Structure formats: structure tokens, C-alpha cells
Amino acid sequence: MRRHVRGPLPAPLPLACLSFTLLLAATPALASEAPAAATSAAAATTSADAEQESPTSVGTGAHDRGGEILVTARRRQESSQEVPLAISVVGGEHLDSTGAFNVGRLQQLTPTLQFYSSNPRNTAVNIRGLGAPFGLTNDGIEQGVGIYIDDVYNSRVASATFDFLDVAQIEVLRGPQGTLYGKNTTAGAINITTNQPTFDFQGKAEVSVGNYNFKQAKVAVSGPLTDNVAIRIAASTTDRRGTIYNVTSNQWIQSQDNIGLRGQVLWKPTEDLAITFAGDYSTQDANCCGSVFVGYGPTQRASNRQYPALAAALGYTPPSTNPYDRLTDLDTPLRAKNKIGGASVRVKWDVGPGTLTSVSAWRFWDWDPSNDRDFTALPIVTLSQNPSQQNQYTQELRYNYSGKHFDFVVGAFGFYQRIDTQGTESQGSAASRWNINPGTNAQVPPGSSGCGPSASNKLACDPTVLNGLTAYNTQYLKNTSAALYGQLSWHVTPELTVQPGVRLNYDKKEGYYQRRVFDGQGNELLLGLPSYTARQTAQLAIYTPQEISPEFSDWNFSYDFNVSYKVTPDVLVYATYAKSFKSGGINLNGVPVDSQNNPILAAQTVKPESVHNYEVGIKTQFWDRRATFNLAIFRSDIGNYQANVTNGQYGVLRGYLANAQEVRSQGVEWDFSVRPSERFNAYLNGSYTDATYRKFTDAPCPPELSGGTTVTGTQTPGAAGVPDSLSPANCNISGQRLPGVSKWTLSFGFEANTPITLLKQEGEVYFGYDGSYRSNFSSNPSPSAYTWVDGYSLSNFRLGFRTEKGFDIYAWVRNAFDQNYIDQLFVGPGNTGLIAGLPGDPRTWGGTIRYNF
């Protein structure tokens, strides 16, 4: 039975010194006085849930027991070094001190996490290179990486773009998570634990300012309302000017404008029962999201239909050809309004020898965007937006028991989601010349429109053909999932533990997609007519009406088996095998059509992924536990990998969501931390990841092979009757690297401090450094010579003064050496060879004042 603790709390620590290390004091102390301890880069699947209601855990997210970091990896409290699975843990204080206030910045601290986002809806979070298809947003598939906040599953990855709010700790879990988690995830999970209400008054406040008009404020207050009711309220706001200047609108874009609120009420009617009510609301209203010109790469299109000739014909020049000038000229007003929130009730009841937990939650997400999808100031695509509204409901029940010889968890999970999207796409006055072949292959003289007497197709020279052409997309998804899961730990001997787990899962998805097309005069274009004019044919080549109602349902059984052995009290070795799955899906962005423009219904559904995951590891502590070294070796084989493909059996070129045959991700992860004295600590964490398509024979071709006449049969360019430019119907990219994955990633840093008395206040001056490195990666679903992003290294510094009373003031600089780097590259539409991209943040600097009371 867990006793309710009264009395003074430990003072919150000013800094968690290691990115994967939480240094927590059992009594009020400076961070430098905490005993040495380290969590691992190969530690545990976890849902930080046990003891959350205990006041002793507030502000830490883990417990310090004689130099050990305690987590609830297997739904029970234990040392992270004793949990034989893979995890990286980052403390809330370290998140604050390094400026990692969202998942995008968290990836600099966690080497195996990949995050890429062109806007909140088009966001992907992957672990070990696996999770979600790159370059395609489709509501009809599951995320491979789950995001949990206080045990509540967030189905929309847009939640990863919001600021962290009053976070105690974050755990990045690697590998399949199904026998301990409510929602099945095949690549891993990001488990976020917030600080909980306390029965003793405490609070914290923080203000930061910096260049680019950066302003950030955070506040949290907690305390009792009655003898058995406590409350905690937290709020944050972040505001920053954009880093890219739009010369068309005379505005800075890629700005930040975020507000977050969270409230929690803890009711303990008895010592054995704790009920927590929580609600949160966050909003973003940034001038976002745009891109800059990066370059041009020739495609298989005729030269007069590639970017240089088209730009010259329309008299267009980008504002800069250097992406690091951070200039753009997008002519569509940008909008990225994003709201997310919800409410939950968590009940923890000590029943018999174990604990029964219930988590009930409702969450919503509203998305209101406006994008410029031609990446230029030309009126080609004048409107591109897909407003979306989501509601989700989850219910989880689980019972956990810990004994001398056996520990077990059994649970049930239910999930329902409804998404509604209303899309609008419109073409502008430059669309005709950009998209329609004028009918001549002659070189276009500089400054010529290409619409002279030699142009046999006058439609290309008539702006009214496509101007105002509009497609209205209506779609919805009903997603239902239910599961039973459990895991047993049998302690065969004090050193040897055998741990099997099982999961039975049911998924059902029902969807609807309709595209209605209207010409510039408001006339609807319909399919099935006896004949079409040349003008209508040109319009239907841009937008084709379609209506489908895809459905999918299936049962899946998955399991895992883990064996661990303690060689010595400080050395643990383990091995794991997991057979998992990723639920099948449905295409909700439309499917390819046949030669008569009829949708190919066989492409409506996507098969489940079949995952085989293998992992072995060792976790060690040495030098009187002042140092740790942990190592994990892993391999995941995925059949029917869900990807953006072009399937040759349909004889079509349009990309859509389907299954690649085989994918493999394998590699090594490690973390090392050392604390030789209370005045210095350092860490070095890293990974080598080899993630490739083992067999992918019908992939979309990269831009250098696209845009020409489609190859049929065996043809030779230049032969009689064969065009000079040919493009395969699809490409075999077997053996090539998955997008977004760097082979080498590192995070490293140190902190040093010395005691000092400043303004009659005893404290310490500290200096910290956090660095990261990633090698090159592909930024296109099929690797292209034009879309490899060069590797780069980032360095962050901080210098400050902190006291035992909770005061902390420091200056910081991020990307200190002003490294030029690219976050993501985009291939322009229409195989013109245009390459656009998002440059990463330049050097930023500022200061922070923080006080814990």
C-alpha cells in the first residue's frame, strides 16, 4: 500500500546535467551534489505511471534510490539499469536548459529519433528510420511511433509540433511497443510525463528572451485545495519572428506563436485510491509554412518544359539562388492555425496485491492551413489547403502485480477516431504555360514565352484554360481499434528473468473520399461523357473527379519474448525477439485511375506491416557507479512496408500509398556518461543505423528519371519511333536507403561548475555544452541525386549561476557556429526539376531567468 506523504518536498533541481541522465537529489541540493546515475540509451519500454500521484516524485519524473534512476518501464517502479529494453530518458530541466521545447528539437538529444515537418499536418516522427512514410500525409494509416502524454495516446503526429508543457521527463522508447502499451506501435514511442499535483505548495516560473524577437514564458503552480484534493496549473507561451523573409508579402515567415495551458486536479478519497482529472489546450498561429529556392536538377522532360525554360518563358527569377540568404517570394498567403487539446481521467486503485489503473480520455485537433505548393511567386497553384478536424476517444484498463517470483501486467484498450477534411486546390493564370506542352521541342530563346507560331498546342498559351480550375476534396475517416495485452516476468533465479508478452488486436477503418472539379467558369467537369473538348481534356489531366469508400478490418496477434541475466549487480545482458504488426490502412488522398479515368479500387486498401524485431544489449555501471556504458544491437525486418509507391501492375504513374515488399533497419546504439566528481559530468551517445529497402521493385522514380515518355516493353531511346526521353513506369530501389535516415548520429556534451558567492548568495557558476551530429540523409521517398541533405553538426552553449534556493540565470547560444544546414528538401510539382527546401535555424542567442519556489 502506498502511503500519502506530507511534509516538505525536495527542492527541484536547477539542471539535469546529462541528456540521457537524470541527476536527482533525495534532499534539497544543487545538481552537482546528486549521486552519480545514468539512464541508458538501451533501457526500457515505459509508461511513467506508477507513483505519479506521490508528491515525492513531482518535478522529477523518476526516483533516485542510492544512485539509481527509477522508472516505471514495466508498469512497476525499478531501476532503469535493470530494465532489459531500449529507452532514452531526458529530464525536464535538461529540456529547458538546452532549449529543446518540442520534439523537433528533442531529436538533437536523442540520436535514433528522426523528425521532419513541412507543416504540422505534414509531419513525421520516426525511430531507427521506421514509423511513417516520408513525403506523404494520409489519414488512413497508423503512426509507427506513438506519442503519449501522461498515459494518453495522441493519434495525430501534429501534437509533436507543440511546445512541451510542465514536463517532468521524456522517454524515447525504441522498438515495438504492444504488450505494455494501449495503442500498438511498431517503431517505438515518445512517452511524456508531466509534473503532477502536490499536497505541498510549490511553483516555478521562467522567462527567456533572445534574438529574432524570441520571447518565452513558463509558469506552474501546485498545492492543496483540501486535505485530499490538490491542484496544478501550468501555462507557457512562445513567440518568435520568422527566419525567412518573403519579398512578395514583405513578411517574415516560419515564425512561432504558441500558447499552452494545462490543469490537473488530484483527488485522494482514501489512501488506496487516487483520481486525477486533467485538461489541456494549446494553439499555434504562426506565419508559416514556406520554403526557399535551393536549385535545379534536370529531369526527363523536354528541355522547353523544364524549370529554366519555363521560368524564362514566364519572366520569373527567384529572389535568391542561395538558400541561406533565407529569401522567398511565395504569393499564396500562408496560414498554419493549429489547435489541440482534450481532457482525461486517470484512476489508480490499490486492489488486492496489485494496482488497477483506468485512463479515459478525449482529444481534439483542428487544423486550418494555407500553402503555396508551386514554391514560387508565379500564380501556378494559387490555393492549396486541407482543413481538418479530429476527435478521438480512448479507454485503457490495466492491472499490474509485483511479487518475489512473478510480475505481470494485463490490460485492455479501446480507441475511436473520427477525422473530417475539406480540401481545396486551385490553379492560376500561369498554370497553362507551366503544365501544358506548347507542342514544340525547339529551344526557347531567353525571354520568349514559347507561344510563337511554332507552338502547335495553343492551349498552353491561353491562361484561361487552367486559370480558376478548382478541385474540392471531401473526406472522412472512422477508425476503431480494440486490444487485449499482457506481459509476465518470471524471476527464475535472482539473476535470470524470462519475460513473455502477448497482444490481440482488432482494427477497423471506414473512409470516404470525393473530388469534384470545376473549371474557371464554375462548370463541373464530370466523367463518363461521350466526348470531351481539348480544353476539358487538358483540365482533367490536372484534376480528375473521383469518389471512393475504402474499408479495412483485420485481427492481429503479436508477441515478444525477452531473457535477461545479471552477470553482476552492475552488469545486465539481455536478448529480445518481438513479432509485431502495423495495422493495415486505407487511401484517403485518392487512388490511381485506369485509362478511362476510373479509380482502381484494388489500391484502396493497404496491407498490415509484418515486423520481426531482434535486439541484444548490455547495460553496465562502473567506477563506483560514477560511469555507465550501455550498448544495444538491433535488427527489424518489415514485410509489406507501407510506403509511397507507383505500382506497375496498374499501368499508372500516380504515386499513392501501398506496400513495399521488404524493409530492414539494423544497427548499433550506445550511450556513455561519466561523473568523475560533483564538479564535472560528460556524456557521449550515438547510433549507427542501416535502414534500407530490401526489396522495392515498384517504387516511384526519382526526379532525374521522371517526366519523359513512359517506357513500354523493351525500348531504346533514339530508336525509330522511340522518343529521346524515356521514364520507367516505376523503379527498383531495392538496397537503397530509407528517406530521412542518417547512418551516423551523435549527441555529446558536458557541464562543469564551481562554487561561488555572488551578491551574498551562495551558489555555483556553471558552463555547459551540448552538441549533435548527423551524417547525410535522403529527403525524397526514392533516393535522388538532387535531394541528398549534407551532414552537419550543431553546438549549443550555456553559462549561468544558480543557487540552492532555486534561482537560476544563464545565457545561451544555439547553433553557436552558425552552421548552414537543410532540414528538408522538396521536389517541385510536374517534374520540372525545381528543388525547394527548408533551411535550419541560424545562430540564436538569449538569456533565461528561472525560479523554483
The whole-angstrom separation of Cα 92 and Cα 13 is 10
Residue type, 24: L
- Of 308-317, 472-481, 639-648, 689-698, the poorest mean pLDDT is in 639-648
- Of 126-140, 253-267, 285-299, 727-741, the poorest mean pLDDT is in 126-140
Which of the two residues, 56 and 140, has the higher pLDDT score? 140
Identify the band that residue 8 occupies on the pLDDT scale cut at 50, 70 and 90. Answer: very low
The whole-angstrom separation of Cα 237 and Cα 257 is 8
3-state secondary structure of 296: strand
In the chain, what's the furthest Cα-to-Cα distance?
91
Per-residue confidence (pLDDT) for residue 493, from 0 to 100: 96
Per-residue confidence (pLDDT) for residue 365, from 0 to 100: 95
Which of the two residues, 775 and 726, has the higher pLDDT score? 775
- Of 59-73, 115-129, 529-543, 823-837, the poorest mean pLDDT is in 59-73
Does the structure show a pLDDT above 90 at 116?
no
Per-residue confidence (pLDDT) for residue 454, from 0 to 100: 66
Identify the band that residue 184 occupies on the pLDDT scale cut at 50, 70 and 90. Answer: confident
Identify the band that residue 711 occupies on the pLDDT scale cut at 50, 70 and 90. Answer: low
Share of the chain above pLDDT 90, in %: 64
Residues 6 or more apart whose Cβ sits within 8 Å of residue 277: 264, 265, 267, 343, 344, 345
3-state secondary structure of 219: strand
- Of 134-138, 249-253, 796-800, the poorest mean pLDDT is in 134-138
- Report strand pairing: 381-385 vs 273-286: unpaired
Identify the band that residue 382 occupies on the pLDDT scale cut at 50, 70 and 90. Answer: very high
For the segment 430-439, the average pLDDT, to the nearest whole number, is 90
Residues 6 or more apart whose Cβ sits within 8 Å of residue 286: 242, 254, 255, 256, 257, 258, 336
Dihedral angle of Cα 428, 433, 435, 440, to the nearest 10 degrees: 170
Does the structure show a pLDDT above 80 at 789?
yes
Identify the band that residue 393 occupies on the pLDDT scale cut at 50, 70 and 90. Answer: very high
Does the structure show a pLDDT above 80 at 143?
yes
Q: Go through 201-225 and write b for each residue having 16 or more CB atoms within 10 A of its CB, e for each that does not.
A: ebbbebebebebebbbebebebebe
- Of 6-15, 574-583, 807-816, the poorest mean pLDDT is in 6-15
Which of the two residues, 401 and 649, has the higher pLDDT score? 401
407 DSSP β-pair partners: 402, 489
Per-residue confidence (pLDDT) for residue 729, from 0 to 100: 80
Identify the band that residue 562 occupies on the pLDDT scale cut at 50, 70 and 90. Answer: very high
Taking only the tens place, the pLDDT of each residue in 315-364 is 999 999 999 999 999 999 999 999 999 999 999 999 989 999 999 999 99
Does the structure show a pLDDT above 50 at 445?
yes
Q: What are phi and psi of 649, to 5 degrees?
A: -65, -20
Identify the band that residue 449 occupies on the pLDDT scale cut at 50, 70 and 90. Answer: low
Identify the band that residue 835 occupies on the pLDDT scale cut at 50, 70 and 90. Answer: very high
Residue type, 529: L
231 DSSP β-pair partners: 223, 265
Identify the band that residue 32 occupies on the pLDDT scale cut at 50, 70 and 90. Answer: very low
Does the structure show a pLDDT above 60 at 597?
yes
Per-residue confidence (pLDDT) for residue 179, from 0 to 100: 85
Determine which helix (DSSP H) or strand (DSSP E) holds 431, and give its type and residue range.
Answer: helix 431-435
Per-residue confidence (pLDDT) for residue 638, from 0 to 100: 96
Average pLDDT over the chain, rounded to an integer: 86
Per-residue confidence (pLDDT) for residue 646, from 0 to 100: 57
556534451: which residue's cell?
A: 749
Taking only the tens place, the pLDDT of each residue in 188-202 is 888 889 999 999 999
Identify the band that residue 519 occupies on the pLDDT scale cut at 50, 70 and 90. Answer: very high
The whole-angstrom separation of Cα 581 and Cα 604 is 20
- DSSP H helices in 499-612: 534-542
| R_g of the chain computed on alpha carbons | 28
For the segment 244-272, the average pLDDT, to the nearest whole number, is 96
Does the structure show a pLDDT above 50 at 294?
yes
Per-residue confidence (pLDDT) for residue 648, from 0 to 100: 47
- Contact yes or no for 376/318 (Cβ under 8 A): yes
514495466: which residue's cell?
A: 74
Does the structure show a pLDDT above 60 at 95?
yes
Does the structure show a pLDDT above 90 at 283?
yes
The whole-angstrom separation of Cα 459 and Cα 68 is 73
